[in-house]
Copies of this chain bind each other. A is one copy, B any other.
Amino acid sequence: MTSFRERMSQSAERHQSRVVLALDVWGPYGKRLAAARSVLEATRDRIAAVKVNHHLLLPLGLTGIKDIVGMCKREGLPLIADLKINDIESTNLNIVGSLLDFGFDALTANPFVGWREGLEKVMEEVHAKDGGVLLLVYMSHQGAEDGYGLGLGGGESMFRVFSQRAKDWGADGIVVSAKSAEKIREARRIVGEGCMIFSPGVGAQGGSPEEWYRTDADYMIVGRAVMDAQDPREAVISLAERREIG
Q: What does DSSP make chain A's interface, helix, strand, loop or mixed? A: helix
B147 A114 Cβ-Cβ under 8 A:
yes
Contact status of A95 and B154, CB under 8 A, knowing A64-B64, A115-B146: no
List B contacts of A95 (CB < 8 A). 54, 58
Partner of A143, one of B58, B90, B116: B116
Chain A interface residue count, Cβ-Cβ cutoff 8 angstroms: 58
Within the assembled complex, what's the spacing in Å between the Cα atoms of A113 and B205?
A: 16
A118 B141 Cβ-Cβ under 8 A:
yes
Partner of A141, one of B85, B114, B141, B143: B114
Looking at the assembled complex, report how far the CB atom of A91 sits from the nearest CB atom of chain B, in whole angstroms.
Answer: 6
Q: What are 5 A-B interface contacts by the 8 Å CB criterion? A: A24-B90, A58-B61, A58-B62, A118-B144, A119-B143
List B contacts of A60 (CB < 8 A). 61, 63
| A216 contacts the other chain (CB 8 A) | no
For A151, the closest partner residue in chain B by CB is: B153
Interface string of A82-95 (1 = CB under 8 A from B): 01111111110011
- Looking at A29, A102, A119, the one whose CB has the most chain B CB atoms below 10 A away is A29
List B contacts of A153 (CB < 8 A). 151-154
B29 A98 Cβ-Cβ under 8 A:
yes
Give chain A interface residues in 92-125, CB to chain B under 8 Å: 94-95, 98-99, 101-102, 110-120
| A16 contacts the other chain (CB 8 A) | no
Give chain A interface residues in 218-234, CB to chain B under 8 Å: 224
- List 15 extra interface pairs beyond A26-B94, A64-B64, CB under 8 A: A57-B61, A58-B61, A58-B62, A58-B83, A58-B94, A59-B63, A59-B98, A61-B63, A84-B86, A89-B141, A90-B204, A113-B139, A118-B146, A150-B152, A153-B154
